[in-house]
Structure 1
Amino acid sequence: MSQWEMIARLIISGVLGGLIGFERRSHFKEAGLRTHFVVAVGSALIMLVSKYGFGDMIYVNSVSLDPSRIAAQVVSGIGFLGAGTIIVEHQFVRGLTTAAGLWATAGIGIAIGAGMYIPGISATVLILVGLEIFNKFKKNVSYSVGKADLSADGVNAALDILKNSKIKISAVQVKRHFDKEENEVEARLNFRVYTKNKSEIKKIIVDLLKIPYVKNVNIE
């Protein structure tokens, strides 16, 4: 293989990875265009090295080569990078799709590096189309994350408001802690609100703030 064809494969990998990264960045995700671009180009480079980098050793009798061994490490190694995009906050997990996108981008880079242009390009198109379709579907059933800071004495009243609400509310979690400055037990209430109607969200905020023990409420 000529050096120019290798460069062409790197460029194609970078473009395909950049497309997925651009889609992720357009939705304000943790890993964007630059990260996906680098992952795709790096994966393609590793594949090229694995496949063509040891051609001078083929005719050495004491050496046996397995071209897939180096490239295979990309699949497991990219997991460490993907783990860095996953955020767990109060039982809410974010970044899984972006982590999966990085993993898939690495696979696309490997495919292009191996000369499998049609599968690599097809996978890119399929991922982009899938992300857009499911993102629109998600918006139709999207939820907002709510947080309320209050004294421990107001927890039951706040829970009653959420329970009696006509809007679907789930993933309710209460965390208590002792505030040394206030010398009292305080609580953080986390929950999900399944609605797009701003007036309904505002009503929940107002109802919670009516409780004397509630200090602040945020739903976004």
Structure 2
Amino acid sequence: MKFLEHIQADNILDTTISLFTAFVLGGLIGFERQYRQRTAGLRTNVLVAVGAALFVDIALALDGAAGAVRVIAYVVSGIGFLGAGVIMRQEGNIQGLNTAATLWCSAAVGAAAGADLVIESVLGTAFILAANTLLRPIVHVIDRRPLDDEAEILNVISIICDRQQSKLVMEQLNLALLQYNYPPKDIEVEPFGNLDVQIEATLIATSIEAKDMNIIIDLLNDMPQVRHAYWDKNITV
């Protein structure tokens, strides 16, 4: 019946506050990720925050501050394995880095809540949300400027289509790029076989959203005049 020794009203209340704080703050972080349809959304961030809070709270109850510090160190390193699971390489892009970093920060918020640092966990949540929301417009502006370095990354859309219908295809391409704010830097048309042409559109943007580009490519491939459409990255020096 040793468990009865740990049943104390003060300890239970303290744990409840810590877990509730981690649940709410992890939920706020996860809601922003879920709203943007990221891999690790609402439930994942809540579970990471609550789990970290529970581990730290247990260590604090059993071994005091020294035990909590050791557990926090393990949380910091251990959450990296979970973050690695949401990082993917697709279409030449590395995706999920921001989501993995957000999970890492959710664990930090949970650890702070578990250590009874409620104010610190609230402040941490505010800064995490600010990084994921307020900085997005700045990132988009910077990413869509051409590089001034010697090496330049070029996003290129290639289309194989009927030669007689190439004008219609180019009009549809320009409309789609305009809709997603990816103006073309250059468009080249070359013969491809006896009946087709190849259209290559080089975009001004040096960084693009893969989901946007996939929508554009699917739209082009759905056109009966298009034989095949795809996008890729070229690096020029």
Q: TM-score, normalised by structure 1?
A: 0.65
- Partners of 2:157 and 2:200 within 8 A in 1: no
- Within 2, Cα distance between the matches of 1:104 and 1:67? 18
CA distance in 2, matches of 1:19, 1:46: 21
Specify the alignment match of 2:69 in structure 1.
68
One-letter amino acid of the structure 2 residue matched with residue 215 of structure 1:
R
Is the contact made by 2:38 and 2:99 (CA closer than 8 Å) also made in structure 1? yes
Maintained 8 Å contact 1:112/1:120: yes
Tell whether the 8 Å contact from 2:159 to 2:200 is kept in structure 1 after alignment: no
SS in 2 for 1:14: helix
Structure 1 residues 169 and 107: CA distance shift in structure 2, 3 A: closer
CA gap of 1:22–1:119, structure 2 versus 1, over 3 A, is same
Q: 1:7 aligns with which of 16, 22, 37?
A: 16
Aligned-pair identity (%): 33
Distance 1:100 1:42 in 2: 17
Question: What does residue range 31-42 of structure 1 map to in structure 2 within 5 Å?
Answer: 31-42=40-51
2:167 aligned residue? none
Match of 2:79 in 1: 78
Q: Which residue of 1 aligns with 2:227?
A: 215
- The residue that corresponds to 1:105 in the other structure is 106
- Which of these residues, 59, 63, 84, is aligned with residue 50 of structure 1? 59
SS in structure 2 of the partner of residue 161 of structure 1: strand
* Partner AA of 1:18 in structure 2: G
- Find the counterpart in structure 2 of residue 137 from structure 1: 138
Match of residue 161 from structure 1: 200
Work out the CA distance in 2 between the residues paired with 1:53 and 1:148: 62
Amino acid at match of 2:122: I
2:130 & 2:205 partners in 1: Cα distance? 31
May I ask how many residue pairs the two structures share in their alignment? Answer: 173
| Aligned-partner Cα distance in 2 for 1:169–1:130 | 22
Q: 1:138 to 1:38 in 2, by over 3 A?
A: same
Q: Secondary structure at the match of 1:88?
A: strand
Q: Is the 8 A contact 2:157 2:201 kept in 1?
A: no
| Matched-pair contact (CA < 8 Å) for 1:20–1:36 | yes
Work out the CA distance in 2 between the residues paired with 1:67 and 1:21. Answer: 25
The two structures, once aligned, show a CA RMSD in angstroms of 3.8
Equivalent pair of 1:47/1:70 in contact (CA under 8 Å): yes
* Unaligned segments of structure 1, at least 5 residues: 56-64, 172-191
Tell me, in whole angstroms, the C-alpha distance in 1 between the residues paired with 2:230 and 2:200: 15
Partner amino acid, structure 1, of 2:40: A
